[in-house]
Structure 1
C-alpha cells in the first residue's frame, strides 16, 4: 500500500503538520516538532511550516 502525506487529525498541536510528517516517516512526532522548532530559529522554519500547512491536505 502506498503511503500518503496528510496533516494529522489525532496528533496535532497547531495544524497537524508535524504529526502528519511523523506518521508518514514512522518517527515520533515530538522529534519532528523539535526539528521544526530548531528550524524556526533560522527564520525560514516558520515560513516552511506555514507553506506546509497550506499545501498538505488534512487527513480524511
Structure 2
C-alpha cells in the first residue's frame, strides 16, 4: 500500500523547519530549497518573508519519531 505523505515542518531546521519540510516532502536537497527560497525572497521584494511566516503558522510540526 502507498503511504500518504503529509507536508510538515521538519525537525532538521534552521529557523522553523519550513524549507526542510518542503525538501523532505518533494525529495529535494534542503540546501537547494533554502538557496532558491532566499533568491526568490530577494527578487520578489521580500514578500517571501510573509510567505514563510504563513507557512510557519499553517504547516504542522512533525512529531518526534516520524521520518
Instruction: Tell whether the structures are fold-level matches, with TM greater than 0.5.
Output: yes
Aligned residue-pair number: 59
* Per-residue deviation, 1:44: 1.2
In the other structure, the counterpart of 2:29 is 28
- State the alpha-carbon separation in 2 of the partners of residues 26 and 7 from structure 1: 14
Residue of 54, 58, 64 corresponding to 1:55: 58
* Per-residue deviation, 1:16: 0.2
| Rg comparison, structure with higher value | 2
- State the alpha-carbon separation in 1 of the partners of residues 58 and 27 from structure 2: 21
Gaps of 5+ in 2: none
- Normalised by the length of structure 2, the TM-score is 0.83
Residue of 3, 6, 16 corresponding to 1:4: 6
Q: Which runs of 4+ in 1 moved over 3 A?
A: none
Please provide the CA RMSD for this pair.
0.7
Gaps of 5+ in 1: none
- Normalised by the length of structure 1, the TM-score is 0.92
